[in-house]
Chain A
Amino acid sequence: MKIVLISLSILVFLFLPEILSLSATEIDLPNGNQAPSLAHPFGQDLKGRDLFARVIHGTRLSLMIGLAATLVSCTIGTLWGAVAGFRGGKVDTVMMRIVDVLFGLPFMFVVIILMAFVGRSILLLFLVLGLIHWLTMARVLRAEVTLIKNREFVQAARSLGCSTWRILSRHILPNISDTIIVYMTFTIPGVVLEEAFLSFLGLGVPAPEASLGTLVREGIITLSVHPWQLFFPAFFLLTIIFSVNWLSRRLQCRLAGQGIATRNG
């Protein structure tokens, strides 16, 4: 029930700015730094922009980048892991060694340098964030595929003359889809956090767009005088990450079956 609720609220947040027709960029300089009121439930920022609208827009942006980057990384990771596991032998060894080596690289630093040098754009942001996270996915899926590929139903499909691609897409992937979903829920909070981290450093989403990280950064500047400018975006960021973390732990426990770690939440 709660799982459905979380998924639904993510959907709602993706469309909320349109539903409420909020403008996050309307500047109202005379009313800068106003405290929360009825007209502006979260107050106004330095330039008089409605903080509620900015937070809702930022939430959507953070969620969108999180979902898109997760899709990118899961696609790459699934394909890489599935091919390595299914082919086995030399191909497998080489592909997994590449993953091992990439694991040791300081990716966040590459991303920071890229964002600083190439310039900030949302497309680049979710591509590079997606490119970081596929490694774990590839490792886990390779292990799963290696286990599954010698099972009877795969042998049956093979002896019926199915092509490799068909066996992978029709027989193996559906059987490991639950693992893929769990690892997607692992990846989403990571990506959302990294995006917030980059925006916090001023290297994330380009202005005038503002993600939750940008808002937190702005909130820190006025922290001692107008703490609510930090509270609201921080609370939303926390809620997103907490709910996805919770979701992922729930799914994990459900998949692990009875026994370990079922009594939380």
Chain B
Amino acid sequence: MKKRILLRLGSTFLVLACIITASFFLIRLAPGGPFDAERAISPEIRAQLMRQYGLDQPLHVQYLHYIENLLHFDLGMSMKYPGKSVSGILSEGLPWSAGLGAFALLTALFFGISMAWLGVQMPGRNLDRWLTRISLVCLSLPGIIIAPLSVLIFSLWLGLLPAGLLEGPEHLVLPVFALAIPLAARIFLLMRDSIQTQTASTWFKAALGRGITSSTIFLRHVLRHAMAPVAAFLAPASAALLTGSIVIETVFILPGIGRHFIQAALNRDLTLITGTVIVYSAILLFFNLLADLLLMLLDPAKTDLEADP
């Protein structure tokens, strides 16, 4: 077990190193430079700019320099926001993005799991059937639809909630729900199916027969087994949250890092893109790791079998 966790940790760092290297070279080798889009600038100024950002040096020298700085958490200076460092820009935006993502994930987990339990707890009342239908619709509601629609309904028509910007806790309600709803639907469907598999099993009936209340069985036994597919879903969910947060931050004009990323890609702000990609990859890898560790905890037998093919 310990050895497997260590191996998994090691490979995660290896992959992160590969991503850093690949993104550095890909972004710098791609056509178009940071100073192309502006008005024609004289060759002297251009050379001066290139020298200032170290772009005139050979690529491997730049790379070594970049890695050296990275070890000090210095991601270089932004090429489009003069005088601002990439680490500064990212550490300003990251708390907002992370907070938004964390709230959305918690909301989605809460609603997904509790609805699934409700549906299973009350059979024969069509509740489960309706929940499944609603969740299929919610699953098809991507951020780019639900975000503007919720602004239209709750802000413009009903005037209940603010439409954007970040000036207080009520400004987070719409973004969090817009981000959480499709996720909650996916978690609901996963949970519902796996709870049904568990409750159809003989050990569940045996436990009921021994007079244990169904909520005790649910909390102590069913939940643990039924969580496995949800834990496995954590990795793709984090990817969905990351891409989703780009849309949500764009629509609601939030100060997260998602908007910076798109702007940087369009502006060819090389240092800012590389920095954002590294941060995003680290988050994604962390969630992949977390999902694997959770799976190991929830169901040790299964993962041990899969470990040696």
Residue positions of A touching B, CB distance < 8 A = 92-93, 96, 101, 103-106, 108-110, 112-113, 116-118, 189, 193, 196-197, 200-203, 213, 216-217, 219-220, 223-224, 227, 230, 234, 237-238, 241-242, 245-246, 249, 259-261, 263-265
Q: How far is the CB of B299 from chain A (nearest CB, A)?
A: 17
B267 → chain A, closest Cβ, in Å?
9
Contact of A220 (CB < 8 Å), options: B128, B193, B235, B251: B251
Given A109-B280, A230-B152, A264-B136, A117 contacting B30 (CB threshold 8 A): yes
A197 to chain B, nearest CB (A): 6
**Candidates A105, A108, A117, A216; contact of B31 at CB < 8 Å:** A117
Query: How near does chain B come to A77, taking the closest CB pair, in angstroms?
Result: 16
A245-B139, A260-B196 known; A113+B250 contact, CB < 8 A: no
Within 8 A of A (CB), among B48-102: none
Complex Cα distance, B145 from A217, in Å, reads 10
Nearest residue, chain B, Cβ from A259: B200
Q: How many A-B residue pairs have CB under 8 A?
A: 132
Q: Known contacts A104-B285, A109-B277, A109-B280; is A242 also within 8 Å of B142 by CB?
A: no
Task: Say which residue of B26, B196, B280 sits within 8 Å of A106 (CB atoms).
Answer: B280
- Which B residues from 164 to 220 make CB contacts under 8 A with A? 189, 192-193, 196-197, 200
* Interface members, chain B 12-48 (any A CB < 8 Å): 12, 15, 18-19, 26-27, 30-32
Inter-chain contacts of B280 with A (CB < 8 A): 106, 109
Interface string of B125-148 (1 = CB under 8 A from A): 000110011001101111111001
Contacts of A265 in B (CB 8 A): 132-133, 136
**Can you report 17 residue pairs joining A to B where beta carbons are below 8 Å apart?**
A93-B309, A101-B11, A101-B18, A106-B281, A108-B242, A109-B261, A109-B280, A112-B261, A113-B26, A216-B144, A227-B152, A230-B148, A238-B137, A246-B136, A261-B132, A264-B129, A264-B133
